[in-house]
Chains A and B, each alone.
Chain A
């Protein structure tokens, strides 16, 4: 039986992806685990590995198309199967244009010559093979309106909004995905857009992560077909640079940028942050680093940050109360210590994860971080490499930043912002002498970490940094 394969979740926060490149084509046989496409998620470019066995009968999206999570991307099955119904079912998820290539090449037994007059009226295999293309080119039949309260949003569901609501949303700069429709089946209608424009909270949709099982209308879910429109709505409010005389220009946001914007807004708004700062003596750390690099020679290099990551990992192992997350009605303590390292890349940042950093040697951590950072800049990280961190380190020391505070990376309860090592006068045994100092700022989720707990953790961290040999133990 042929089936529709939806876009898999390739990153923890992914809600949609851009299909960058197909690595297989229609007619190819695939086995579970085969790479079939590359997908840009909010985080990175990801491999899309098929989990099914069969033949790719139809690719439903074009390279460059944006697809909602779970939205139909291909049809897999046996060669020659009639997939017209599935193509029609894929409906809103299918590429709007008629596909260039005819669907599966007719199999060898398909008659090439016209059907004999005596043949029964049943469609021939060749006729069937031609059907999907026709079906895809045919305007979609309207989907039945979902009954009210039928569970959570169906992934890839078409945005339900009246034409007036859509045009009004463009005019008023309203993102339809953020609106809950009050019309039949959750259709967004004019009044919903106007309410939203007036800042009415009633119309705001619940955050997608909370929608499950709450009977929230699916209206805010957007199919790829609607994507262009809602995207335009999201980034092009009234008065764009295309208007003559406008004194600004709107640079359309990438998927990643939009995701960063959304995630950080949510974090800063929803997580009760507080900040702890202290300055640590970085002299011993620098000396220790020098020793390590001397030992490594040309086999590698250790950075201050690598050592900081190791110190953070050990501190978390020692104080698991801070290796935790708020999950609504409990504090979840993670068993593994996985440190996320913020890496700046063009147009955004990613946080690749050093897994079990407490158990890894400094050299290994250094090598991993270098590899992850390199591949992050090439957008070549895999999904598992950017997910699952329990604490994050963000270091702007290389830019000469003395100190800064970071926004938490939910669900983590802590993030450490690391400044530059500065040459400062310090008082040592009553005398002012030159010293090396580094300021670290810890942002804490107060729901998980109270002030004293955070302070104790910073103390442990400081001791580790100031006695760096312990990092090698």
Chain B
């Protein structure tokens, strides 16, 4: 085992998959000579050359579409969006093309492509760079949506995403790149693969289930620690993949605890947490002791000022308060 960062984990995953499969290439803005805007592709150009690490001009719609076309005829592109906010100018390629070609072609052409990059609010980058867009993509049949919270998950899930025969939207936590985790050293191996669509219990507890992904897993773990001091044991469950969603694992936890709080950093209206809450009430209605609570960001574009930015996003105290509400401890 080695303690590595989330950033290194993603880098290792791509490096190992590119070693393993010559059809894998990476394309995006500043992925090559710049070594990645967030240094996730550090060193890959040196190792794999310009043919497989392709610096693209600022043309998300163009290079995302090139990825789709290349994937149709057998390559396995990794398309990096410098941030997922920029994916919105390429959303035609993701939603109208990548997600639908397998269906439109009656199953003849599949699109094995990964769209990856950081998403969610970072720190003081304003409203256009602070969005959580997973709910947009999780809405679309034909896509898979992955949101790892730890370095271990990031590596195992990215390797699985690259090997997947379908388009995968892989949204990294912008503030998670420096977080570390024990990750097994299994270069080029399959031992560290984490299948898509399998949730993970990040912390066990009996009193309440916290469902969260990406950065919010950490917020929930913080809240769980505080609550443990008060004798309240939270179970933190990370779906890791939003589409397909591992409803069974989430529901098993809620069945056990009888209480559920869904935490997401996205906006409240039609956020993915609403779908999770729906699935949990549907499968756990007889086990629920309280209405399912959601904790989300405020329903506003992200402000710049640090204090306001913190206020908008879910903090551990907000999770603690929600837990107390479902436990009727207010």
Contacts and interface: CB of A to CB of B under 8 A. Distances in A.
Q: Classify A-B as touching or not with yes or no (CB < 8 A).
A: yes
A190 B258 CA distance: 9
A191 interface: yes
B290 A167 contact: no
A164 B289 contact: yes
Contacts of A344: none
Contacts of A164: 258, 286-289
Nearest to A181: B328
Nearest to B328: A183
A189 interface: yes
Contacts of A163: 285-289
Nearest to B329: A191
A189 B290 contact: yes
Contacts of B285: 163
Contacts of A166: 286
A167 B328 contact: no
A165 B328 CA distance: 13
A259 to B, nearest CB: 30
B290 A183 contact: yes
A140 to B, nearest CB: 16
A162 B257 CA distance: 13
A381 B198 CA distance: 66
Interface in A404-437: none
Interface residues of B, number: 8
A162 B287 CA distance: 9
A183 B289 CA distance: 10
B118 to A, nearest CB: 39
A361 interface: no
A182 interface: yes
Contacts of B289: 162-165, 189-190
Contacts of A183: 290, 328
Contacts of A184: 328
Interface string B285-317: 111111000000000000000000000000000
A191 B290 CA distance: 11
Interface string A147-164: 000000000000000111
Contacts of A189: 289-290, 328
Interface in A132-190: 162-167, 182-184, 189-190
Interface string A255-268: 00000000000000
B237 to A, nearest CB: 18
Interface string B257-298: 010000000000000000000000000011111100000000
Interface string B236-270: 00000000000000000000001000000000000
A162 B258 CA distance: 10
Contacts of B328: 182-184, 189, 191
A207 B290 CA distance: 27
Contacts of B288: 162-164
Contacts of A182: 328
A408 to B, nearest CB: 41
Nearest to B290: A162
Interface string A180-211: 00111000011100000000000000000000
12 contacts: A163-B285, A163-B287, A163-B289, A164-B258, A164-B286, A164-B288, A164-B289, A165-B289, A167-B286, A167-B287, A182-B328, A189-B289
Given A162-B288, A167-B286, A167-B287, 6 more contacts: A163-B289, A164-B286, A164-B287, A182-B328, A183-B290, A190-B258
Q: Ordered nearest first, which 3 A-B pairs have the shortest CB separation?
A: A164-B289, A190-B289, A162-B289
